Structures are given as C-alpha cells and as structure tokens.
Amino acid sequence: LRCKDGRSRSSVNVEESAYSEKITRALTSCQAYLEKSIAAVEGVSEEYDISVWHAAAELEYALFLFSLKNANSDVTPKWKTESTDRSDSPAKLLQKAQVLVAKSRTSGISGKWLEAYKGAFAARHILLRIQRESARKKRDLLKRSNSYSSSS
C-alpha cells in the first residue's frame, strides 16, 4: 500500500516515529535547561542567559520538527498565546514555560501531537519574552554605565 505521495506506509510510519522520538528528546532537553535557568535566575547572569538560550534552542528545534510532522496543515496562525502579566518576574515566567513544556511532552508521549505542539508554541512565546526583557535590561545597564563613564 502506498500513500498519496508515493511512499510506502511503512516508511511513513518510520518517519513519524523518528519525528516523535526527536521531539520528545528535544522537549526533555528543554525541560532540563529550564530547570538550570530557574536555579540560576538569581545567580550568575551568564549561566542564566546561556541556560535560557539553550532551552529556547531546544524548543525551536522541537517546533521545527512539529512543523515537519504536521506539514499538511498550518495550524499555528489560529493559536492564541497565553497572556502573561507584565509584572511577572523572570522566575515566574520560567515556571510557566516549564509547565507548558512538561504538558507538551506528556501530550506527545500520549500521542496527542497537536496538543503537544500548542504547548510548545505557547512556551516559546514566553521564552522569547524573557530573552527580550533580558536584552533590554542589559542595554539599559550598558547605557547607564556609558553615561557614568562619559560624565566623569
């Protein structure tokens, strides 16, 4: 038996299984980096930034694989991301992202791939916000330090 695109059904099942396994591994890795980020949020800035970056990178990879797995339908434009309070601390935002990634991983393991995709998509927006705010704070700090050094 063949699929519409001419591939055998068994090769499609192998591809699906490979995507599923890679997505699950990427989400697991993302969870580990989120845990490191939460532990470092009040500590060394560089360690925190690197851990957040790695978590975001793993999540982007998982989202890329989700998009390949769901190549026949582009569902993401219809999704609304979870709103977060502007006053939420980075630690609280990281915890929200961690919950979403954990739910995404659990959904994927249960075979609910669309639900898993939605969770990862929402977590990505939170991590992007964290990265933007961190970059803004660094720019502000750099501007202040430059204004102090030029006024002396």
**pTM recorded for the entire structure:** 0.80
6: left (phi over 0), alpha (psi -120 to 50) or beta: left
> What are the distances in angstroms from CA 93 to CA 43, 90, 131?
16, 5, 11
In angstroms, the CA 40 to CA 78 distance is: 35
Question: Any idea how long the chain is?
Answer: 152
pLDDT at 96 over 90: yes
- 75 or 52: which leads in pLDDT: 52
pLDDT at 77 over 80: no
